[in-house]
Amino acid sequence: MNGLQKHRLAMAVVAVLVGVGFAAVAAYYAAVYFIEVENPLRDEYLVGVALGLLYSFPAFALAALLAASVKKVISRTLYCVLSVPALIVGVPMLLHNLLR
């Protein structure tokens, strides 16, 4: 693995961590939405869920693209860890927009 491939792999790991951070924000607002049943303004928590998922997808997509560029030199497990989150977040967003 040369220096450029190491750099791309490191950037892919950082992108996944950023995406996980935004997905954690979305999970927090989803949990608060389901916990606070009597709150009349609880629908506003769904904006936090949507923004968290909306911001996490580009980070996960970038990680998948960077992982694809070093696919030959990393293990299959690491490649799946770096690329599957883009599918997990991206496919439901795509289906939501298509079925709306």
Distance separating alpha carbons of residues 61 and 18, to the nearest angstrom: 11
Distance separating alpha carbons of residues 11 and 49, to the nearest angstrom: 25
Answer yes or no: is pLDDT of 97 > 90. no
Shortest CA distance to 7 belongs to which of 69, 76, 83?
A: 69
pTM over 0.75: yes
Number of H helices, E strands in the chain: 3, 0
pLDDT digits (tens, 9 = 90+) for 32-71: 999 998 988 888 999 999 999 999 999 999 999 999 999 9
* Residue carrying the six token digits 């070093």: 70
Note the pLDDT of residue 6.
Answer: 94
Share of the chain above pLDDT 70, in %: 100
